[in-house]
Homo-oligomer: A and B are copies of this chain.
Amino acid sequence: MQWVKLLGGLVGAAALLGLGIILGHFAIPKGAEPPAPSVSFAQDLDLEILETVMGQLDASRIRENLRELSREPHLASSPRDEALVQLLLQRWRDPQSGLDSAEASAYEVLLSFPSQEQPNRVAIVGPTGDILFSCRQSEENLTGEQGGPDVVPPYAAYAPSGTPQGLLVYANRGAEEDFKELQTQGIDLNNTIALTRYGGVGRGAKAVNAAKFKVAGVLVYTDPADINDGRSLPNETFPHSWHLPPSGVERGSYYEYFGDPLTPYLPANPSSFRLDPDTVSGFPPIPIQPIGFQDAKVLLCNLQGNSAPDAWQGALGCDYKLGPGFHPDSVFTGSQVNVSVYNRLELRNSSNVLGFIRGAVEPDRYVLYGNHRDSWVHGAVDPSSGTAVLLELSRVLGTLLKKGTWRPRRSVVFASWGAEEFGLIGSTEFTEEFFSKLQERTVAYINVDISVFANATLRAQGTPPVQSVVFSAAKQIPSPGPGSLSIYDNWIRYFNRSSPVYGLVPSLGSLGAGSDYAPFIHFLGISSMDIAYTYDRSKTSARIYPTYHTAFDTFGYVDKFVDPGFRSHQAVAQMAGSVLLRLSDSLFLPLNVSDYTETLQSFLQAAQQYFGALLEQHSISLGPLVTAVEKFEEAAAALSQHISVLQKDTLDPLQVRMLNDQLMLLERTFLNPRAFPEERYYSHVLWAPRTGSVATFPGLANAYFRAMKAGAGSAAWAEVHRQLSIVVAALEGAAATLRPVVNL
């Protein structure tokens, strides 16, 4: 304890007073608002507060939140969506349990809706023009909740209007190779209608691929094999079980990018420049419409032609044929399928709601926690299960705040995003509007969208620096199921991997673009995570929970089938709350930058193993990448070591701040807005979209596979080398920011 030596015997009472004076200057803030507890630069995570928060997060309150949130459909920009904006504001402004402040702000964004006057229609049209069969235009009203004017009929958002008609073919999942297979089988796809099932490729990709083969229109349905573990009968499905009823239809956005389609890279303020909707890229090129498997069965089980390959077969109870057209034995022989889509693009106001807690020590460091608010119909699971958790967590923290018991070291920002279902629009516009501010100051973004898919286990996705804080939280929270396991110990039973550093650990997934974390990680380079409870994959092979994006995703569904008792909701609230508090309150940020080393090494090994030989043939050496990974590893390890020494020793507020800046900003160093200009918003050189199955650096992999294609010349291999240099420069630059700050 050096200070003892320095002070001992040297300093008299007068000197002590002088020191006190200086200290008074330093440590006692002027004009702090009551009832904030006294501020200390050394304010660290308070384990008692953490325990208090864990104990106060209440399952029954989450249940009540969910009941209210999912009481009515709340499609983006609908009156009920706006009513929920008011609900959030009211909660976050509550004098007893609210936050420091809350506000709503609207963007004017391009959404897509089916016409109310002219409903979309899918029909079988006989040779004489008679309509022989029509698909349902809405889901069956099984529980009284599936009717009413606010239930938006099933549709494919952003699909163009049009009324194509032609012979039906079955095209499996609508992947490019699926259409190729049909061609190979001698089927003329020109002017056909392709029936596809959900899964495999993205929604919009089905129409994009189909159009390449001159298909005129596309239908998409959810096969019971893919969602219901094969069950398809009414008495096997909701409301008798959690399975999807035959009339259920998955809605969704079919737009290829994210963010408001008319204002890429610009906030969608009323005055912002907008693209001409007719020139926007990323919309489906041809009409597409989703239907239920009850109707799909009528279409598919009456097709003629060759049997579809085994992998294309499903659980509709017939042999799937390829078409084109209906079987001569069927009543539909000679008939065509007509797909009439009357969707409209509309500029609508969509609101984000933001709630703030001012940090006591470092108010300019933000921990963001968000979820979207808009649903397709009632959205009890998606997204209200997340919003119910968000409201409970903000209530517990707000109560401590208002009582004066607690104020975080850093600022906390809660967000309720608008129009996520149309393509992460609210969150993306927010990142565009506050790009600089967020990039400078955000510690991390926590996303809890669907909080509970199922009751089995935690599922967390994130970038490597958040692994440690997620693990820390998971180890200290009891698993909601029977038994006395922690969330961590339960998790490791379901998802695990062998880490070279830690041995067997739960497996943290990586972040795609499935929810509002996407603009934060890919566009802003902010360390992000997504937290939920999910399935036992040994018990179901469902693509996702069965009523996803249908009118059957209701409060009763959650209460009865997804999480009776809401213990998994509570567990997610505890997880998210614990992670949030650790990030907002710990003196040293609990972001373990060293955990990036494992990712880099595995990416490097994959590149060496799968690309090395051919790269060498093209005189491209992976040597500089090896060196860059080593430099990163050394710098990260030294920094972690330095911090662990300091944690036992020094409390110099600026030194802590400087180290935390290194930790916070590491993720930013991986951004290169010039690396993939064709990939809108994707600037993170480690997590941009990747083609091919090799889990490695995406720019390198994508360039490699393009160069591999027959006929690719030296320019394609030059691009491989360029992409390699881009990632090497990013890693070297990242390592440079982790070294002691006085080494330039």
Nearest Cβ in chain B — how far from A329, in angstroms? 56
Does A436 count as interface, using CB distance less than 8 angstroms? yes
What residues on B are CB-neighbors of A668 within 8 Å?
A: 436, 440
* Chain B residues positioned under 8 Å from A354 (CB to CB): 744
Per-residue CB contact flags for chain A residues 651-673 toward chain B (1 = under 8 Å, else 0) read 11111011001100100110001
CA distance A718 to B275 in the complex (A): 8
* A148: Cβ under 8 A from any B Cβ: no
Per-position binary interface string of chain A over residues 351-379, scored 1 when its CB falls under 8 Å from any chain B CB and 0 otherwise = 00010101101111010000000000000
Q: How far is the CB of A731 from chain B (nearest CB, A)?
A: 11
Nearest-neighbour CB distance to chain B for A451, whole angstroms, equals 24
CB neighbours (8 Å) of A363 from chain B are 658, 741-742
A673 to B681, CA, bound (A): 12
Scan A392-416; emit 1 where CB is below 8 A from any B CB, else 0: 0000000000000000000101000
A267 vs B665: C-alpha distance when bound (angstroms): 21
Q: Which residues of B contact A127 (CB under 8 A)?
A: none
Bound together, the chains give a CA A726 to CA B744 distance in angstroms of 33
CA distance A436 to B673 in the complex (A): 12
Q: A674-B265, A674-B673, A744-B437 are known contacts. Are A22 and B25 too (CB-CB below 8 A)?
A: no
Q: Is the CB of B440 within 8 A of A650?
A: no
A578 within 8 A of B: no
A21 interface residue, CB < 8 Å from B?
Answer: yes
Contact B24 A737 (CB under 8 A): no
Chain A residues touching B, range? 35 or more
Contacts of A273 on B, CB cut-off 8 Å?
718, 721-722, 724-725
- Shortest beta-carbon distance, A665 to chain B, in Å? 6
- Determine how close the nearest CB of chain B comes to the CB of A578; give it in whole angstroms: 23
Q: Does A728 contact B (CB under 8 A)?
A: yes
Q: Does A705 belong to the interface (CB within 8 Å)?
A: no
What secondary structure prevails in chain A residues at the interface with B? helix
Which B residue sits closest to A738, measured CB to CB? B437
- Residues of chain B contacted by A7 (CB below 8 angstroms): 20-21, 24
Q: Which B residues are CB-close (under 8 A) to A436?
A: 665, 668-669, 733-734, 736-737
Tell me the smallest distance from the CB of A20 to a CB of chain B, in Å: 5
Indicate if the CB atoms of A21 and B41 lie closer than 8 Å: no
**Distance in angstroms between the alpha carbons of A592 and B438 in the assembled complex:** 23
In the complex, the answer to whether A650 meets B25 with C-beta atoms within 8 Å is yes
Decide if A434 is an interface residue (CB 8 Å cutoff): yes
Contact A271–B621 (Cβ < 8 Å)? yes
A17 within 8 A of partner (CB): yes
A250: Cβ under 8 A from any B Cβ: no
Contact (Cβ within 8 A) B19 A650: no
Q: Does A28 contact B (CB under 8 A)?
A: yes
Please determine whether A266 and B440 come into contact, CB atoms closer than 8 angstroms.
no
With both beta carbons as reference points, the residue of chain B lying nearest to A441 in the complex is identified as: B741
* Distance between Cα atoms of A362 and B741 in the complex (Å): 9
Interface residues of A in 1-54 (CB under 8 A from B): 2-3, 6-7, 11, 13, 15-17, 19-30, 41-42
- Check if A11 sits within 8 Å of B20, measured CB to CB: yes
Asked if A432 is an interface residue, CB under 8 A from chain B, the answer is yes
Q: Would A28 and B6 be within 8 Å (CB), given that A363-B741, A658-B362 are in contact? A: yes
- Which residues of B lie under 8 Å from residue A13 when comparing CB positions? 13, 16
Residues of B within 8 A of A364 (CB): 658, 661-662, 741-742
Q: Does A649 contact B (CB under 8 A)?
A: yes
* A359 CB contacts on chain B under 8 angstroms: 742
Beta-carbon nearest neighbor of A361 in chain B: B654
Select A20's contact among B19, B271, B441, B662, beta carbons within 8 Å: B19
Q: Say if the beta carbon of A677 comes within 8 Å of chain B.
A: yes
Decide yes or no whether A433 CB sits under 8 A from chain B.
yes
A15 to B23, CA, bound (A): 12
A-B contacts, 5 of them at CB < 8 A, read: A16-B20, A19-B19, A25-B42, A267-B729, A271-B624
Binding site for B on A (CB under 8 A): 2-3, 6-7, 11, 13, 15-17, 19-30, 41-42, 100, 263, 265-267, 269, 271-273, 276, 354, 356, 358-359, 361-364, 366, 411, 413, 432-437, 440-441, 621, 623-624, 649-655, 657-658, 661-662, 665, 668-669, 673-674, 677, 718, 721-722, 724-726, 728-729, 732-734, 736-737, 741-742, 744
Known: A13-B16, A19-B20, A41-B654. 8 other contacts (CB 8 A): A16-B20, A25-B650, A267-B729, A273-B721, A363-B658, A433-B736, A434-B736, A673-B673
